[in-house]
Amino acid sequence: MKHFSLSRIREVFPEFNKRPITENDFWRACKRFRIIVKQLPLSVDGYCERRRGRYYILINSRLTGYKWLHTALHEFCHFLFDAPDQNENYVFYRRPYDRDSIRDGMKRTVEARERFADAFALIAMLPMPELERLAHEDLTENHELLRLCQERIKVRADYGL
Ligand SMILES: [Zn+2]
């Protein structure tokens, strides 16, 4: 995975995969990189774009809780790793993207990038120590967190983090 540059991540989040990255950490990082974050009613969870020299992260204003943070971190990951040339305008949609309109190779690239951004968000939210702590808790009543933990375990198998 060319993508997972832990050193690049830790320049921004020194405690990535050590302690949970919070909403506050996200806002602080956006401020540091002068990313403009907007919360609007969108037809997708979120997207990020670069326009006229500024970076934007847009988040669906209907999202809350884990879903909000997951989307915010997913988009931040695109900023960190997928932003092309500084002078280019671009936009990354959070899903659904138009699967039929992109060629196979391109499609694989896009899918790998999306999977990676999801993995980044999950690791940020549920670092290993947190996952181990939660393994001893009864999560049967907390379906959302339980599902996140299950996905996080898959990420560990896929990326080794
Ligand atoms: Zn994405």
How far CA 132 is from CA of 51, 93, 129, 140, 159, in Å, comes to 41, 32, 5, 16, 17
On the question of a cis peptide bond just before residue 14, with omega within 30 degrees of 0, the verdict is: no
**50 vs 90: CA distance, rounded Å:** 5
Give the mean model confidence (pLDDT) for residues 108-126.
92
Per DSSP, what are the bridge partners of residue 57?
37, 48
> Band of the pLDDT at 107, cuts 50, 70, 90?
confident
Those residues whose beta carbon sits under 5 angstroms from the ion ligand 1 are 94, 114, 117
For residues 154 and 137, give the distance between their C-alpha atoms in angstroms, rounded to a whole number.
19
CA of 79 to the centre of ligand 1 (A): 10
Give CA–CA dist 101/11, Å, rounded.
Answer: 36
Give residue 16 CA to ligand 1 midpoint distance, Å: 19
pLDDT in tens, 5-19: 888 899 999 999 999
Ligand 1 midpoint to CA 47 (Å): 7
pLDDT tens-place string over residues 17-76? 999 999 999 999 999 999 999 999 999 999 999 888 899 999 999 999 999 999 999 999
